[in-house]
Amino acid sequence: MIGFSTTIGICSIVEVELWGIHEGLFHAWNLGERQVMAETDCLEAARMLQESYRRASIITLLDCVKALTHRDWNVVLKYIHRNANKVADTLAKLATARGEVHMVFTTPPMEVVDLVQQEVAGCVLTTAF
């Protein structure tokens, strides 16, 4: 399992989620993973990836994410409740907080260790698409 944090500038919440899914799938593919579960707490982003969607401002990004999901591998996209996604939300903010542009984590950084333990011990609310 890996984690990452990237500073992408000013954009909508949906764009942030799509960039996060894109980066996660990109890293997973490059690491040779072929069974991947991607989770998002943004229902709109999850629906966009499952349906035909044509909003001009994000169409290229959406097409890039869809292209990644159609490679020769098994990708399952899940919508999860925001409360069950605290690790990802914290990781997403780390690059900016640390003044970095892009960070990849192979072990959980100190800022999320307690959250990881809570998520492992607790009940995670998910909905598969």
pLDDT of residue 125: 47
Domain edges within the chain: 3-128
CATH topology classification for 3-128: Nucleotidyltransferase; domain 5 (3.30.420)
Q: What is the pLDDT of residues 24-82, one digit of tens each?
A: 999 999 999 999 999 898 999 999 998 877 766 778 889 999 999 999 999 999 998 87
Q: Give the E-state strand segments of the chain in sequence order.
A: 3-6, 35-40, 74-80, 102-105, 126-128
Q: Which residue has the tokens 């994410």?
A: 65
Mean pLDDT, the chain, as a whole number?
83
Which of 64, 72, 106, 112 is CA-nearest to residue 91?
112
Q: The whole model's pTM is what?
A: 0.76
CA–CA–CA angle 35, 52, 127 (5° rounding): 45
